[in-house]
Amino acid sequence: MNIAAYLRVSTDKQADKGYSLSEQEKRIKAYCNSKDWDLVKIYKDPGFTGSNLERPALQSLIEEIDAYDIVLVNKLDRLSRSQKDTLYLIQDVFAPHGCSFVSIEESFDTTTALGIAMVGILSAFAQLERSQIKERMKMGKEGRARKGLWHGGHYIPTGYDYKDGTLHINDEAEQVKLIFQMYLDGTSIRDITRFLQQHYTTRYTSWNYVGTVRRILANPIYIGMVGEYIGQHEPIIDKETFDKVQVMLEDRKRGGKTPTGKHLLTGMIYCGYCGARVRSVSTKLKEKKYSYYRCGKIDSAQLNKIDHRCELTPKKEEEIDNFVIAEILKAKLSDIQSKEEIAPVIDNSTEIEKIDKQVQRLIDLYAICGDDVEELAKKIKTLKSKKASLQKMQLKPKKAIKKHMIHALKIAKETFENGTIEEKRQIVDALISKVVLYNDSIKIEWNF
């Protein structure tokens, strides 16, 4: 059998304790002689840490692994100090090339049944190590967030530079402001993305994905927050603008409605007899186009012909739209204020503050004794669950939604007279939840 030996030492102190390269090589050769193995090559990494795989001799061994039947080390930690990396080398590098692994000191030998079983045990420890790393990272991020500091990372939020441990506004902030303004003006996320592609780039993107714009619109970092905590960085967007955008995003997600479209009531008008959506259809008569609303049940190919019948007769689209617009213009600001039900506020702030302090103490405890990660994580999870329950009990009025409706009502007349279809739909979407169509009446369900 062809044997490759791997030797590593990271510090002079290890050499003093008998881990020197020469001492390791001596033991390796003696072991091979006792087994009558052919030691083909010895790979040496002097002065390299075992916490990662970025070692020149180890990389050479990986590249030449096809030439060997066994990789031999004096001790398991000479190969790697990470269970995850050790398991990766054994299972994903050595084994696929028909190469076994032997560690002299631990009697770890994958040429035997017991050695194969040890791989399974090692796998369990590797999973534990990955879990602990995730918990440490999570705690570290939360600790920084509580201090109002961004957690750091490779991708810095568009509009900011990361210097001296915090965020600083840069020239890209103007693009962020433009995104929020265009969205408030009724431009779809896809159209905003196309516009940015044609006119702007950032250090990370040419605005190739609509998801990038959507994440910016929903990111509280732009109002000076880090998660749920007040950040130390300067905001790019004011809170009122951000709140309006969140309401619009939530409305579109919840109702499947979008302020862009060719028809004023698309997505919110329903048949009062069968409950199906009402659709807009058009016909031409003597080169003139006529548009109608009719029950969408007629267009369902999954129903039989009898089910296709509905009591609702087609209605002229222009007449229905004009009726809805007239009803909106009749509404008053006092209607919104008087009809909004404001639930009483239950003040749990003291209890929530106590929980925050307990969580902070646990994070501080981790900094002192990081070995109890799992137990600390369980306690933190329990406290956060309790905090979430208390916050749900604090029923507060949706001020952002109310402000959004008031703003829509104030500009409704001007918008319906001079605005685009997208701007008109924005007004309807803000004030109306549903329009139900009957043969002799129209029922409007208001958001307020």
Residue 10 a catalytic site member: yes
CA distance 16 to 20: 7
* Residues of the chain where predicted confidence (pLDDT) is lower than 70: 11-19, 119-120, 122-134, 136-138, 140, 152-154, 251-261, 285-286, 298-309, 337-349, 362-377, 389-401
Are the CB atoms for 102 and 133 separated by under 8 Å?
no
Query: Distance between CA 307 and CA 51 in Å, rounded?
Result: 69
Q: How many angstroms separate the CA atoms of 85 and 101, rounded?
A: 14
Place of tokens 């600790």: 143
The tokens describing 107, both together, are 């009697």
* The residue to which tokens 């020469």 are assigned: 22
E strands in 198-272 = 225-226, 229-230, 269-271
Handedness of CA 50, 52, 58, 61 (dihedral sign): positive
pLDDT at 328: 93
pLDDT at position 21: 87
**What are residue 7's DSSP bridge partners?**
44
Count the Cβ atoms, other than its own, within 10 Å of residue 8.
Answer: 27
Tens of pLDDT, residues 232-265: 899 999 998 998 888 788 766 654 444 445 788 8
Superfamily in which the 160-255 domain is placed by CATH: Putative Large Serine Recombinase; Chain B, Domain 2 (3.90.1750.20)
Tell me what pLDDT residue 288 has: 76
pLDDT at 258: 45
pLDDT value, residue 406: 83
At the topology level of CATH, where does 2-131 sit?
A: Rossmann fold (3.40.50)
d(CA 402, CA 336): 7
3-class secondary-structure state, position 170: coil
Which of 142, 442, 448 is CA-nearest to residue 315? 442
What would the two tokens of residue 149 be? 């500091």
* Measured distance CA(163)–CA(166) in Å, rounded: 6
- Which is nearest to 217 in space by CA: 189, 198, 254? 189
Instruction: Match 């919840």 to its residue by tokens.
Output: 254
Domain 2-131 matches domain 160-255 at the CATH topology level: no
Domain ranges of the chain: 2-131, 160-255, 269-341+399-446, 349-393
